[in-house]
Amino acid sequence: MGEEPNLDELREEIRKVTLEMLRLAGKRLSLAKRIGEIKRQKGLPMEDLEAEKDLKQFVLEKCRAYGIDDHFGLKLLNLLIDEAKRVQSELERY
């Protein structure tokens, strides 16, 4: 049986996970920007409430599967959606 990780090791693991989350957030924003460009080219509205509704349902299902509080999962998703909308709205200016 191995030893439990110490506090410093756990904090380093948190640091690594946080960095990965930031990397993935950057990738998500890049994808949101590409989607915004396609919407602009096709004359579609930047906001798609049906797509947001579907994504929220998907996130709730995953929260339950992973044992994550629904409120936290939706709060995180709303933050990501708001930032995606901000990035896409910047495209409308050009």
What are the helix and strand counts (H, E) for the chain? Answer: 3, 0
Residue 14 maps to a domain: yes
User: What CATH number does residue 51 fall under?
Assistant: 1.20.59.10
Q: Which domain holds residue 64?
A: 7-92
- CA separation (Å) from 25 to 1, 3, 50? 37, 33, 22
- Which 8-state DSSP code applies to residue 42? H
Please tell me the least confidently modeled range out of 65-69, 74-78, 79-83, 86-90.
86-90
pLDDT digits (tens, 9 = 90+) for 27-48: 999 999 999 999 999 999 989 9
Task: With cut-offs at 50, 70 and 90, classify the pLDDT of residue 5.
Answer: confident
pLDDT digits (tens, 9 = 90+) for 11-30: 999 999 999 999 999 999 99
pTM of the model: 0.85
- C-beta of residue 75 within 8 angstroms of C-beta of residue 19: no
Structural domains counted in the chain: 1
